[in-house]
């Protein structure tokens, strides 16, 4: 496993550990405290809503008492003076007192005045008979135990919750006897509930227990069976709902108070947990990045350079030694590797130079002896003898090429650049070849681009590439040579239709002494690569088995 991978895994494990520990701490400490605070807050809001409804009901009780304990009302119940109604229960009275219903009865609980008022539409209308009978048939609200005994609470009127307050009718000095009763009513409709919600700054509703949905019916049953006053349910991550049963004036649990409490504390705890988690991850990532940067700078990059150096020096014995690292430990390793490679490469180059030098002398002797035999005795030899002399010459030339390659490989490349064109370079190279009959050469290079090159060395490169193309097209084919301009670069391409190469061969293509041929040392392409790189260029290859190969030489333009 790579060191970078190990470091990354270590940082990830550390991050996971810290994240898990934070989650456990949050679950053990923060969540229970948050739940406790939310519960207290929701119950407190339930009590606030109840108290507000009780306050509005008590306020209605005060209003009805003001009208019931009045001489004019006392006289109206006795003589039914219509002037009293016309003067006191006009539209503005209902508007100012915020009343939906007024009922006056005598001691026999007979209705002597009734009026319902729509506050939204500002319209009066009579209370329907069914509602009148319902109000009259509730003896509890008309059963006054003593003179100034007012009764208030909630009732289900017209299938809606209504705050009602009743009071005995007495004179202004609260003297009797009681002449009847007066009722003021105010619907707890959506308009009124919205007004109350704006006062307490949270949302609550009041519904009849008969109009609840199935899940809320189950909550009513739960409260009745358990005897609890309140119960809480989590609606989602944003809202927790509190439920409480409200009794009517007959002490029956007829209404359900529903309070919606925004889970601000819960959301803040989630936000805090997320901030802690993100901070943990962020800190871990920063630490990891710092470690990776240090690792990349002080270990990985120097080791990669060392690897590239080892690979490059195998291709180019004269490759200069780079500065690898400022770290003492890496320097020790790199210096040891460099010194070892340097000794081995120098030994190999020295052997190559000695072999080349030692072989050239006998080859020169063989070449001179062959020349002497051809000049002195060629006329006396038959065809077989002359053929043997030609074979000796060919072998000497072949051996001399090998010796020259060894010398080129073991020597530093020095360039003597002149200006020329791709066309002239290709023509000079091709002029040295005897073209096989089954191979077509298409030269599409131009004289329009000027390049500065060491002509003999670049001809050596092209000669090597053309020879390889011919070898790859033993059964015939086409060699196309073109050039393309690329901003400040020139690209010379040699495209053949030969047998192509596999990926495995391409990977080792420039490795010294690697060859797929039966002849040669396998250093030709390695020397070509060194020559091109000495020109500040590069060589690329693309090949498909069975289709052909394309070599690209990229050089700077003048």
Considering the domain 328-409 in this protein, what is its CATH number? 1.10.287.130
How confident is the model at residue 410, as a pLDDT? 61
| Residue 300 phi, psi (nearest 5) | -65, -50
Regarding the domain delimited by 27-262, which CATH topology (the fold level of the hierarchy) does it fall under? Answer: Beta-Lactamase (3.30.450)
| Closest by Cα among 197, 198, 214, 215 to 206 | 197
How confident is the model at residue 496, as a pLDDT? 94
For the chain, give every domain's residue range: 27-262, 328-409, 413-556
How confident is the model at residue 405, as a pLDDT? 62
Q: Which residue has the higher pLDDT, 411 or 159?
A: 159
| Closest by Cα among 118, 135, 137, 114 to 126 | 114
Confidence at 285, pLDDT banded by 50, 70, 90: confident
pLDDT in tens, 212-228: 888 888 888 888 888 88
**pTM (predicted TM-score):** 0.51
How confident is the model at residue 476, as a pLDDT? 92
- pLDDT, average across residues 37-48: 92
Task: Using the structure block, give the residue that is written with the tokens 């009794």.
Answer: 247
pLDDT in tens, 446-489: 998 899 999 999 998 999 899 999 999 999 999 999 999 988 89
User: How many degrees, rounded to 5, is the angle at CA 368 between CA 365 and CA 372?
Assistant: 135
Helix (H/G/I), strand (E/B), else coil: 24:
helix
| Closest by Cα among 143, 64, 128, 53 to 99 | 64
Regarding the domain delimited by 413-556, which CATH topology (the fold level of the hierarchy) does it fall under? Answer: Heat Shock Protein 90 (3.30.565)
How confident is the model at residue 75, as a pLDDT? 94
How confident is the model at residue 1, as a pLDDT? 62
Lowest-confidence segment of 44-58, 249-263, 376-390 by average pLDDT: 376-390
Indicate the pairing of strand 123-125 with strand 439-444.
unpaired
| Closest by Cα among 230, 285, 235 to 253 | 230
State how far the Cα of 536 lies from the Cα of 520, in Å rounded to an integer.
Answer: 27
Q: Which helix (H) or strand (E) holds 151?
A: strand 151-157
Confidence at 519, pLDDT banded by 50, 70, 90: low
Q: Are 242 and 230 in contact (CB under 8 A)?
A: yes
Compute the mean pLDDT over every residue in the chain, rounded to the nearest whole number.
83
How confident is the model at residue 72, as a pLDDT? 94
| Residue 359 phi, psi (nearest 5) | -80, -30
Reply yes or no on whether the pLDDT at 328 is more than 70.
Answer: no
pLDDT in tens, 536-552: 999 999 999 999 999 99
């Amino acid at each position: 496993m790579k060191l970078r991978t190990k470091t990354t895994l270590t940082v990830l494990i550390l991050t996971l550990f810290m994240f898990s520990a934070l989650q456990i701490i949050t679950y053990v400490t923060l969540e229970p405290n948050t739940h406790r605070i939310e519960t207290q807050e929701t119950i407190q809001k339930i009590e606030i809503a109840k108290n507000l409804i009780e306050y509005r009901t008590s306020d209605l009780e005060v209003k009805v008492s003001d009208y019931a304990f009045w001489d004019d009302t006392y006289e109206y119940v006795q003589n039914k003076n219509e002037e009293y109604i016309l003067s006191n229960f006009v539209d503005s009275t209902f508007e100012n007192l915020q009343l939906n219903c007024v009922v006056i009865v005598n001691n026999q609980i007979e209705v002597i005045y009734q009026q319902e008022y729509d506050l939204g539409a500002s319209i009066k209308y009579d209370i329907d008979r069914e509602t009148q009978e319902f109000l009259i048939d509730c003896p509890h609200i008309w059963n006054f135990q003593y003179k100034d005994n007012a009764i208030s609470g909630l009732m289900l009127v017209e299938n809606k919750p209504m705050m009602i307050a009743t009071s005995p009718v007495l004179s202004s000095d609260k003297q009797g006897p009681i002449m009847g009763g007066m009722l003021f009513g105010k619907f707890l409709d959506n308009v009124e509930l919205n007004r109350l919600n704006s006062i307490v700054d949270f949302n609550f509703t009041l519904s009849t227990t008969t109009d609840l949905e199935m899940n809320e019916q189950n909550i009513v049953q739960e409260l009745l069976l358990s005897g609890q006053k309140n119960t809480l349910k989590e609606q989602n991550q944003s809202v927790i709902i509190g439920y409480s049963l409200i009794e009517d004036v007959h002490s029956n649990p007829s209404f359900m108070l529903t309070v919606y409490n925004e889970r601000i504390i819960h959301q803040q705890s989630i936000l805090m947990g997320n901030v802690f988690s993100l901070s943990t991850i962020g800190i871990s990532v920063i630490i990891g990045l710092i470690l990776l940067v240090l690792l990349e700078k002080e270990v990985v990059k120097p080791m990669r350079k060392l690897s590239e150096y080892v690979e490059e020096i195998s291709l180019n014995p004269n490759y200069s030694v780079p500065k690898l690292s400022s770290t003492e430990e890496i320097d020790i390793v790199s210096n040891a590797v460099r010194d070892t490679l340097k000794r081995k490469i120098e030994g190999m180059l020295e052997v190559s130079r000695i072999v080349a030098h030692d072989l050239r002398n006998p080859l020169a002797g063989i070449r001179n002896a062959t020349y002497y035999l051809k000049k002195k005795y060629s006329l006396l030899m038959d065809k077989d003898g002359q053929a043997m002399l030609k074979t000796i010459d060919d072998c000497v030339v072949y051996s001399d090429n090998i010796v020259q390659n060894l010398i080129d490989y073991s020597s530093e490349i020095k360039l003597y650049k002149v200006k020329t064109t791709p066309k002239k370079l290709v023509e000079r190279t091709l002029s040295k070849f005897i073209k096989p009959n089954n191979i077509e050469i298409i030269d599409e290079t131009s004289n329009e681009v000027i390049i500065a090159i060491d002509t003999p060395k670049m001809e050596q490169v092209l000669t090597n590439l053309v020879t390889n193309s011919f070898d790859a097209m033993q059964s015939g084919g086409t060699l196309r040579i073109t050039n393309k301009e690329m901003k400040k670069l020139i690209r010379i391409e040699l495209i053949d239709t030969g047998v192509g190469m596999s990926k495995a061969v391409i990977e080792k293509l420039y490795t010294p002494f690697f060859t797929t041929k039966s002849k040669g040392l396998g250093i030709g392409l390695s020397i070509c690569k060194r020559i091109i790189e000495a020109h500040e260029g590069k060589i690329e290859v693309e090949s498909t088995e069975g289709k052909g190969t394309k070599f690209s030489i990229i050089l700077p333009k003048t």
